[in-house]
Structure formats: structure tokens, C-alpha cells
Amino acid sequence: MKLSVLILSFFLPYFAHALCIVNDHVKLRAKPSDKAKVSWVVGPHMPFREVDKKGAWYQVQDFEGEKHWVHARNVSYKESCVVVKTPKANLRIGPGAKFAPTDLGIVGKYATFRKISRDEEWLKVQDVYGQVHWAHENTLWEPRDSSRVTF
């Protein structure tokens, strides 16, 4: 009986969630502790992929592959967020290059948004001020939920 439990534990699936920062000035840490060195400070709508969990702390990975720890009070699975991964992204009033730029027009790398919807390769996004824009998917990083089997 103990051997079968041991064998099954090697085949447990791991489900990695996409997480979204929901608070302002969130301190990401090098280790899962409020006393650990701050590795990055981020604002609302910064997306991450969950890597691990220890107590109330999530180890997360950003679009450049860097890993950090964030306290659970600062993240949500319920929101979908994106970040600009290219040097700049053009923001449009509709889903296509034929549409005029929004008032914001162009944003730089690391600009974050809450994802509202998708129209083919265009994402409808909302900034922290509530303004709505459209951006091409090639300029954005959107983490996806994923699962894997661990051995």
C-alpha cells in the first residue's frame, strides 16, 4: 500500500496559474519573506506565471524569465493582465492598424494593462486610469494557465 502511494506521488500534475498584480507599489522579493531583499516593485496589472507556492507566498516568473516572490494578498487569478514586451506598442481605438491611435498613442516596454477581450490578433485592454485601447498581440505578453506532470 505504501509503495502505491509513493508511486502516485511521482505522477501528480502541477497546475501553473497566470497571476495578475492587483495592488499598487507591490514589492517582489528574492525569497518568500517580508524581510527578504526587494527584487522589483510593480504596479497594478503586471502579469506573472506562477512557478511555486510556499505558504502565503507565490514564486512567479515574468515575461523575461526572471523569478520573484510575491505575497498572495497582492495577486489574483480572476483578472487577466498583459504587459508590453517590445520596446514600444501602438495603442489603437479599434482592433486593427487602420484605426486611429488612442490619446495615449504609444507606450513603452513594461506598460501594463487589464485584458478585456480579444478580436483575432488584437487585444482590447484597459489601463490603470480606465481608458480602453487595442494593441496587437505581438507586442504583448499574456501568461497562460498550464499544467505539467512532475516525476
pTM for the model stands at 0.85
**Percent of the chain whose pLDDT exceeds 70:** 86
Confidence check: pLDDT of 135 > 90: yes
3-state secondary structure of 4: helix
Q: What is the mean pLDDT of the chain?
A: 89
Residue 76's contacts (CB-CB under 8 Å, 6 or more residues apart) are 19, 20, 22
Buried b (16+ CB within 10 A) or exposed e, 35-71: eeeeeeebebbbbbbbeeeeeebbbbbbbeeeebbbb
Confidence check: pLDDT of 58 > 80: yes
Look at strands 101-108 and 75-76 and give their pairing.
unpaired
Q: Specify the pLDDT at position 144.
A: 82
Q: Specify the pLDDT at position 16.
A: 72
pLDDT tier at 15, thresholds 50, 70, 90: low
